[in-house]
């Protein structure tokens, strides 16, 4: 029998397919597809937040707010969703359309995508659930753009699909009635459920932590080259237009064990340059850094300071500590570790940020003889002077 998805997108250039088996009737499985809330998964919420998408309720109906449309539905057999947009851009460029117009929709600058959930009954009261994603690009230029985007996000897209199937399977099997020996054994299984609950929660927490670490490592490796190129560009601009350290600032650099403080340049600007392109914006969004109006930035041996904080020793010592980290680890290794820590722990709790705050306090203690203990917020965003 021809899949329903072939009626809406028979031609495509990109495809991904995942399968699972569910101990439930096909009708119950497809109903679980309709009512299952994808937002219950911490992994999916994290990935959607990274992409800049809403993370509230995420049932099939709620996904219409993201631009998805229910294209077709066959009872106990298949359900197909459609989406149109410029997916490779940071905003997504989602287009509004009516389900009836999906097949005839043809614009040269956008791509079309479909997601289907297909159910097939198998022996022993088991259903085979298949999710298939197809993407069609109207021309070679759009295909090339989407190819690079697809290469970067495909591992995470697969994570979302597999997590979606897991949630559907759990929902359908919990809702399915138990019969025969399974019903008689239900009471016995419930006796052990409370004993297993504590160890189950512990295993779930450890699994979630490992997944987050794996995602952070993969993202850090993918995003580091773009961040590295941007940092080199900013360092070159600071070197050309910045000033050398003052004598008092040079002393702070030596206390922080910087090997070559003479190479450091400081450039005072009205506004810190902002990164362009989706890889850098993804890092900023997911690491929870308030980059709308930062006051300082370190790029290798270059330091940006905003007007109003150029004479603030706390901010300068903090950035000098980052210079020391660049020297100790190397630019590329430092950036990859910094991105990984921010993605996993957040900006304030990042180990490299904690070390920079501790070293800046230590340098101040040696210089003044008093212990300064600024809060993380004070170091990150000190109050500007009028």
Tens of each residue's pLDDT in the chain, 386 residues: 688 899 999 999 999 999 999 998 888 999 899 888 888 888 888 777 776 676 667 888 878 877 889 999 888 889 999 999 998 887 788 888 888 889 888 888 899 999 999 999 888 888 999 999 999 999 999 999 999 888 888 888 888 888 899 999 988 888 766 544 444 444 444 434 444 444 444 565 666 667 777 777 888 888 888 888 889 999 999 999 999 999 988 988 988 889 888 999 999 998 888 776 665 666 655 544 444 457 889 999 999 998 888 888 888 999 999 999 999 889 889 998 888 888 777 777 788 888 888 888 776 655 554 443 444 433 333 333 33
Longest Cα separation, the chain: 85
Residue 67 corresponds to which tokens in the numbers above?
A: 């631009």
Give the helix ranges, DSSP H, for the chain.
5-8, 26-35, 42-51, 140-175, 180-241, 247-255, 278-286, 313-329, 331-345, 351-368, 376-380
Give the helix/strand (H/E) hosting 172: helix 140-175
Q: Tally the C-alpha atoms within 13 A of residue 339's C-alpha that lie toward its C-beta.
A: 27
- Number of Cβ atoms within 10 Å of the Cβ of 339: 26
The residues with which 18 forms a beta bridge, in sequence order, are 131
Contacts for 222 with CB less than 8 Å, ≥ 6 apart: 152, 279
Contact of 211 with 166, CB cutoff 8 Å: no
C-alpha–C-alpha distance, residues 294 and 309, integer Å: 11
Of the candidates 134, 204, 210, the one whose C-alpha atom is nearest the C-alpha of residue 170 is 204
Contact of 273 with 238, CB cutoff 8 Å: no
Contact of 296 with 268, CB cutoff 8 Å: no
Contacts for 201 with CB less than 8 Å, ≥ 6 apart: none
Instruction: Specify the residue for token string 């569910």.
Output: 22
| pLDDT for position 234 | 92
- Number of Cβ atoms within 10 Å of the Cβ of 369: 7
Give the helix/strand (H/E) hosting 121: strand 111-122
C-alpha–C-alpha distance, residues 223 and 229, integer Å: 11
Contact of 301 with 263, CB cutoff 8 Å: yes
Cα dihedral: 376, 380, 385, 386 (round 10):
-120
The residues with which 306 forms a beta bridge, in sequence order, are 269
3-state DSSP call for residue 113?
strand
Residue 285 corresponds to which tokens in the numbers above?
A: 């969004």
Contacts for 73 with CB less than 8 Å, ≥ 6 apart: 79, 80
Length of the chain: 386
CATH 3.30.530 maps onto the chain at: 5-177
DSSP code at position 19 = E
The CATH number fitting domain 5-177, selected from 3.90.25, 3.30.530, 2.50.20, 1.10.150: 3.30.530
C-alpha–C-alpha distance, residues 169 and 63, integer Å: 19
Instruction: Specify the residue for token string 């590329």.
Output: 332
Residue 357 corresponds to which tokens in the numbers above?
A: 């705050």
Q: Tally the C-alpha atoms within 13 A of residue 370's C-alpha that lie toward its C-beta.
A: 4
C-alpha–C-alpha distance, residues 131 and 125, integer Å: 20
Of the candidates 131, 139, 149, 87, the one whose C-alpha atom is nearest the C-alpha of residue 113 is 87
């Amino acid at each position: 029998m021809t899949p329903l998805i072939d009626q809406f997108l028979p031609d495509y250039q990109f495809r991904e397919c995942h399968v699972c088996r569910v101990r439930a009737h096909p009708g119950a499985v497809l109903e679980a597809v309709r009512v299952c809330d994808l937002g219950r998964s911490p992994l999916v919420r994290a990935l959607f937040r990274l992409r800049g998408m809403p993370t509230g309720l995420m049932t099939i109906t709620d996904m219409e707010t993201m631009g998805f449309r229910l294209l077709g539905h066959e009872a106990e057999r298949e359900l197909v969703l459609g989406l149109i947009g410029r997916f490779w851009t940071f905003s997504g460029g989602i287009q509004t359309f009516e389900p009836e117009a999906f097949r005839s929709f043809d614009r040269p600058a956008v791509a079309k995508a479909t997601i289907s959930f297909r159910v097939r009954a198998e022996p022993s009261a088991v259903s085979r659930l298949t999710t298939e994603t197809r993407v069609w690009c109207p021309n070679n230029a759009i295909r090339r753009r989407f190819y690079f985007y697809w290469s970067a996000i495909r591992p995470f897209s697969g994570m979302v699909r597999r997590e979606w199937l897991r949630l559907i399977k759990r929902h359908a099997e919990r809702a399915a009635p138990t019969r025969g020996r399974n019903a008689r054994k239900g009471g016995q299984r419930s006796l052990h459920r409370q004993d297993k609950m504590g160890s189950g929660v512990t295993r779930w927490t450890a699994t979630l932590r490992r997944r987050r670490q794996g995602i952070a490592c993969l993202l850090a490796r993918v995003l580091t080259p773009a961040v590295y190129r941007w940092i080199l560009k900013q360092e070159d601009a600071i070197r050309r237009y910045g000033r050398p350290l003052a004598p008092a600032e040079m002393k702070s650099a030596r206390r922080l064990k910087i090997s070559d403080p003479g190479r450091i340049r400081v450039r005072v600007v009205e506004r810190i340059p902002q990164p362009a392109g989706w890889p850098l914006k993804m890092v900023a969004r997911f690491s929870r850094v308030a980059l709308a109006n930062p006051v300082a930035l370190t790029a290798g041996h270059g330091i940006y300071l905003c007007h109003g904080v150029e004479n603030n020793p706390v901010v300068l010592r903090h950035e000098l500590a980052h210079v020391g980290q660049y020297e100790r680890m190397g630019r590329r290794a430092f950036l990859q570790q910094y991105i990984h820590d921010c993605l996993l722990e957040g900006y304030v709790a990042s180990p490299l940020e904690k070390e920079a705050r501790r070293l800046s306090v230590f340098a101040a203690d040696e210089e003044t003889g008093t212990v300064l203990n600024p809060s993380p917020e004070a170091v990150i965003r000190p109050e500007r002077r009028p």
